[in-house]
Structure 1
Amino acid sequence: MTDDGDHPPFPLLVPEDSTDLDDVRSALRGADAVDDLGTDLAATLAWVVAVPRPRSLAASWELLASVAARDIAAARVLEPHLDALGILDEAAAAGIALDLDASGSWGVFAAEGPGARLEARQDDGTWTLHGTKPWCSLAADLDHALVTAWVDDERRQLFALDLRDSAVTARPGPWHARGLDRVVSAPIDVDAAVAVPVGEPGWYLRRPGFAHGGVGVAACWWGGAMPLRTALAAAARGERADQLARAHLGRADVALWAARAVLVETATVFGAGGSASEGLRAARARAVVADAVEVTLTEAAHALGPSPLVADERHARRVADLQVYVRQHHAERDLARIGGDVATEGGRW
């Protein structure tokens, strides 16, 4: 099954004959029907809310990668929405009773930052949130979010927050991004907004699916880089192509092929029930994919030169979006954490 030439063939990660692809196909047909997918934020959010939920982890990553191949910003909107709904499903499966409206669009705000702190307080059985939460993507546009807040100085707990509450103020910035410029990720200020606890303190980090979300983001990075491989292949077929053009394509192809193999294996292991080292496996997968994306960005820049960066709006936007998005991987700091885990715990493969 091939596309119209604007993005790579589908499927990308899951075999063509997989029965899990029906919902993915339906979601992608909906995406292709959205005018200005990713640039028209309202239309993109309406599509995200209507997306059928994939039935397996592999299909979810397939959907994220395929959407990112179409538009990276659209995948950046879809990924936390699906992650939030998956977390709520995990909570229900764990017997956590939740009295909340799960309709509408969702985000996940779990980042911390210097000078910003969101605290949770309980009074007569009602939880309220107070303070500032950084890096809240699309907070001014979403309906709800799952947010982490400090219960005390040592424990963080997850809460469902209605972003339409007048006690929640989404800041417009600072957001001077050239990539993902439409997906504003700025702080929110919360003044005693009522929130619904989702699990006990620490449950968010301990839950089995915590590692899965991080690799879902990596699937977006990988899918977002695939059209750059397509552009490199077109250049390598051109009349002026030489050995260097083919070498640039080959280097990107090998890196993305290896990253695909890692994503497929990771989805298989996690889908089978995972292992005690899911966190380390997820961190390794993210590192492999991030490296492949950065290799592909470099090879595309070297092979294609400045022309598509200044004359091809879609290519220039894709490169800028991908450069910002992949910085969710913290490079050497994440590698140092992997090294620490391997050094202290053995890090079995």
Structure 2
Amino acid sequence: MGERIDQCSQEALPLLVGDMLCEIVDKHLDLIPLPGSGATLERWRVLAAIAGRDLSLLKLYEAHTDALAILAEAGVTDLPPLSVWGVWCAEPPGALLNARHVAAEGALVLDGEKRWCSGAMFVTHALLSYRDEQGQACLAAVDLGQEGISMEDDGWKAVGMAATRTTTVRLSGVRATAIGVPGFYLERPGFWHGAIGIAAGWYGAAAALAEKLRQALHNRKDPHALAHLGEADCRLSGALNQLREAARFIDANPVAAEAATICRLALSARLQVEAASQAVLDHVGRALGPAPYCLDRHSARILADLPVFLRQSHAERDLAQLGTLCIESGESPWKL
């Protein structure tokens, strides 16, 4: 898999990534452990391993496997054979998706647009968020093979994550199936489980970059470069321990954890991995100069993709929410 991606030209990479996602589904390699099933860390190891090869493929694979986890959590088991799923739940200002119920047909109909739709050119089905009349977050499943769906494929200007073919999808009179009750998507325990899964992908890419640095310094005695490797090791070790602890907690408390507890755990894990990844990006360049950006296709692609993918984090907003949870915990959360 990795060799095929490394040998692919930049122009052909999006098609290859889409083909590989479909191949993964065809071979049932998407059937990884569900979060909270007792093997959450194994699930995240798969995500990290794919991220270490190609972040665009990981983005599509993680969304597909997250969709399967969401549907399982909602009790939906009758899925179309070999269907490939996206999850499109971003709700930026100005992008409205309206839902109406056609009572005579017993159908849910969607009109409007969804932005930040990764993999839109490759997937066959998608889970989309929308707001009902009371403003509650709702979720719907859509078969993308029907009429009334169009895609704007020229909005992505970045080099990073370009192979995901992230686009805006417009819907007009599109039939959909409601998944769960209003509020299900955001209130279910799996929301935070999936959020940490994203961070496992960030970690996998950062660890792959750090391994490039470790190999490059194997026979060098440059103390300054070695100091950069030492700092990368400290940051990644802390993030790794946080991910392992989060996986243990989720497996021990798959549905019963208090909302504030799992939220704090997820925010802490994501923010620690984000900080570690940012540090690795910085230290690899400072230790090795332009070489990883220019002379190695694999590392160059991660260096372009990872900063874009990390912006799926909410940055200071997440830090502020974490700080609020620390205060509301009632006692010091840092006792050894």
What is the root-mean-square deviation in Å for CA atoms of aligned residues? 1.9
Please name the residue that 2:133 is paired with. 152
Code of the aligned partner of 1:35: R
Please name the residue that 2:242 is paired with. 262
What is the aligned counterpart of 1:53 among 31, 44, 47? 31
Please name the residue that 2:230 is paired with. 250
Post-superposition Cα deviations, 1:237-272, rounded to whole Å, max 9, x if no partner, equal 234x31111100000011111111110110010011
Please name the residue that 1:219 is paired with. 200
Alpha-carbon distance in structure 2 between the residues aligned to 1:273 and 1:128: 37
The 5 Å alignment of 1:143-222 reads 143-222=124-203
Post-superposition Cα deviations, 1:199-243, rounded to whole Å, max 9, x if no partner, equal 11101111121101100000000001112111221232234x311
Code of the aligned partner of 1:142: V
Alpha-carbon distance in structure 2 between the residues aligned to 1:134 and 1:71: 23
- In structure 2, runs of 5+ residues without a counterpart are 34-38
Cα deviation for residue 310 of structure 1 reads 1.8
Code of the aligned partner of 1:182: A
Post-superposition Cα deviations, 1:21-58, rounded to whole Å, max 9, x if no partner, equal xxxxxxxxxx46x8337931232122331314123322
Identity between Structure 1 and Structure 2 (%): 36
> Is the contact made by 1:100 and 1:196 (CA closer than 8 Å) also made in structure 2?
no
2:281 matched to 1:297?
yes
Q: Which has the bigger relative contact order, CA under 8 A and spacing at least 6?
A: 2
Code of the aligned partner of 2:17: L
Partner-residue secondary structure (3-state), 1:164 = coil
> Is the contact made by 1:173 and 1:184 (CA closer than 8 Å) also made in structure 2?
no
Partner-residue secondary structure (3-state), 2:138 = strand
Cα deviation for residue 153 of structure 1 reads 4.9
2:300 matched to 1:316?
yes
Partner-residue secondary structure (3-state), 1:152 = coil
Post-superposition Cα deviations, 1:274-330, rounded to whole Å, max 9, x if no partner, equal 521112211110000000000100000100111221222221111111111111112
Post-superposition Cα deviations, 1:97-120, rounded to whole Å, max 9, x if no partner, equal 676536311010110111111111
> Is the contact made by 1:48 and 1:105 (CA closer than 8 Å) also made in structure 2?
no
How many residue pairs get matched? 313
Question: Could you tell which deviates more after superposition, 76-85 or 267-276?
Answer: 267-276
Alpha-carbon distance in structure 2 between the residues aligned to 1:311 and 1:35: 18
Normalised TM-score (structure 1): 0.85
Alpha-carbon distance in structure 1 between the residues aligned to 2:150 and 2:112: 11
Normalised TM-score (structure 2): 0.88
